[in-house]
Amino acid sequence: MEQISNSKCFGGFQKVFKHPSSETKCSMTFSIYIPPQSSPDEKFPVLYWLSGLTCTEQNFITKSGVQRYAAEAKVVIVGPDTSPRGCNIEGEDDSWDFGTGAGFYVDATEDKWKNNYRMYSYITKELPQLITQHFPVDASRQSIFGHSMGGHGALIAFLKNPGQYRSVSAFAPIANASRSKFGIKCFDGYLGRDEAAWRAYDATEVVKNYKGDKVEILIDQGKADDFFQDLMGDRFAEAARGAGLAVQYREHEGYDHGYYFISTFIGEHIQHHMKYLRN
């Protein structure tokens, strides 16, 4: 790994690294916040943050204000990039909502994309192994959360891997992706026309067959969100409750889709996860 940056923040360190990925066959970048250590042997629980369309590993660490809460809770926060980059695939930079910056956290099956666009396996397998190997984390205590496309990614990562993550939360997730214009575009491009393959990555469909621990899921949604109609968090909440999961689905007047919204409630999301990560 190559360290790109290292800044002291609230007694801990906000770092960014780059590494060659076996899953995406290119260099991947991730951020990691490490809280103040009481001793060199101290290990922390770890929270994985997945960002939304057009984002890199930078958006969350520069706009959310999460470091203060992570330092107080003594939790490591890891934030990967949102897609492979520079793979020289024709069309990868043609639009903001597909290709570069829009990996959608799936493993592509279409020939053009399948060698590189394997973000699902990258975030659920390769990256956690890398973090456990190189940083002071307790691999038995990990959770996941995210925003928009990343909220979709967090929900499916949790639901499709019972026992890997202790908890999950999301801000304005694309929660019923096979019915969303954003999900349809990405699923069609990465997975082809088989809608059964789409449903395998649609949180509202996946939750119907969830067999893991019955933890509470926290979802926050701004009611002034320009993408409100395409996110459908309420549909996911209804399906999850039907599967026996508790869902705290909160709609907030006046809040939009951006990081002012996220920074307002990020502390409550850290508190939510720490209920599950502390013991």
Question: What is the per-residue pLDDT across 217-256, written as a single tens digit (0 to 9) for each?
Answer: 999 999 999 999 999 999 999 999 999 999 999 999 999 9
| Range list of H helices, the chain | 58-63, 66-73, 119-121, 127-134, 149-160, 181-191, 195-199, 203-206, 228-231, 233-242, 259-277
Count of the separate structural domains present in the chain = 1
Query: Cα(65)–Cα(267) distance, rounded to whole angstroms?
Result: 9
Look at residue 51 and give its three-state secondary structure: coil
| Tokens encoding 63 | 């706009």
Residue 230 sits in which domain range?
A: 2-277
Return the pLDDT at 104. Answer: 98
Q: Which of 147, 152, 257, 273 is catalytic?
A: 257
Section 167-191 average pLDDT: 97
| Tokens encoding 224 | 């002034």
Return the pLDDT at 178. Answer: 96
Section 251-277 average pLDDT: 98
pLDDT above 90: residue 215:
yes
Percent of the chain with pLDDT over 90: 97
Residue 132's pLDDT band, with cuts at 50, 70 and 90, is very high
Print burial letters for 76-101: b (CB count within 10 Å at least 16), e (below 16). Answer: bbbbbbbbbbebeeeebeeeeebbbb
Q: Known catalytic residue: 272?
A: no
| Mean pLDDT, the chain, integer | 97
| Under 8 Å between Cβ of 121 and 164 | no
Q: Known catalytic residue: 225?
A: yes
Q: Which of 107, 202, 225, 230 is catalytic?
A: 225
pLDDT above 90: residue 269:
yes
Return the pLDDT at 55. Answer: 98
Sort strands 12-20 and 2-9 into parallel, antiparallel or unpaired.
Answer: antiparallel
| Under 8 Å between Cβ of 219 and 232 | no
Percent of the chain with pLDDT over 70: 100
Q: Which of 64, 83, 143, 148 is catalytic?
A: 148
Sort strands 168-171 and 246-252 into parallel, antiparallel or unpaired.
Answer: unpaired
Query: Model confidence over 184-199: pLDDT tens digits?
Result: 999 999 999 999 999 9
Section 193-211 average pLDDT: 96
pLDDT above 80: residue 279:
no
Query: Model confidence over 134-145: pLDDT tens digits?
Result: 999 999 999 999
Q: Known catalytic residue: 202?
A: no
Neighbour count for residue 44 (Cβ, 10 Å): 21
Neighbour count for residue 46 (Cβ, 10 Å): 25
Query: Model confidence over 4-62: pLDDT tens digits?
Result: 999 999 999 999 999 999 999 999 999 999 999 988 899 999 999 999 999 999 999 99
Return the pLDDT at 82. Answer: 98
| Under 8 Å between Cβ of 170 and 250 | no
Domain CATH number, residue 94: 3.40.50.1820
